[in-house]
Amino acid sequence: MNRNIKYLIHVLDSNIDADDRIVETAAMALSNFSADFFYHEFLLKEPEITMVFKILNNTKEDHEGRVLEHILALITNLTTNPMNAQKLFQKHIFESLIRIMKFSVRLSLRKLNIIEKLFSWIYCKINFRTQYSFKS
C-alpha cells in the first residue's frame, strides 16, 4: 500500500505538465486514504510527509484550489489521531496554514472552515504541549 501512496504523491509533486483532473484525483485519493488510521503511518513516513507539506506550501489558488482542499482534508484526517501531533509540529503545520491564509483572501468558505478546524486542533495541542512535553 505504501507504494500506491508514493505513486500518488509523485503524481502531485510532478504536476507541472499533468492534466488537472489527474492531479486532483491523486489528491482526492490521498485524502481518502488518510481517512483511515491504518494509512497514517504510511503518510507520515519520510519522504511522503515532507512531500505532502511541499505540495501544501507550493500550491497556488487557481486550478490547484481543489488540490489544496484535498491536501487540507488529508492533514485534517491526520490530526484526528493524537499520536500524529509531534510529527505535524515538526513539519511546521502552523506556519503552513498561515502561509495559505496569506496568499489568498479568496479562499472558499469550505477551505476556511477546514483551516479554522486545523487551527483549533493546533491550539489544543499547543495547550497540551505546554502542560505535558512530548518525548523526542
Phi first, then psi: give them for residue 56, nearest 5 degrees. -60, -45
- 64-85: pLDDT as tens digits: 567 888 888 898 888 888 888 7
In the chain, how many domains are there? Answer: 1
What pLDDT is attached to residue 60?
Answer: 61
Whether residue 123 is predicted with pLDDT greater than 70 in this model: the reply is no
Q: CATH number for the domain including 73?
A: 1.25.10.10
- The parent domain of residue 64 ranges over 2-131
In a domain, 89, yes or no: yes
First to last CA, the chain: 28
Round to whole Å and give the CA distance between 82 and 93.
14
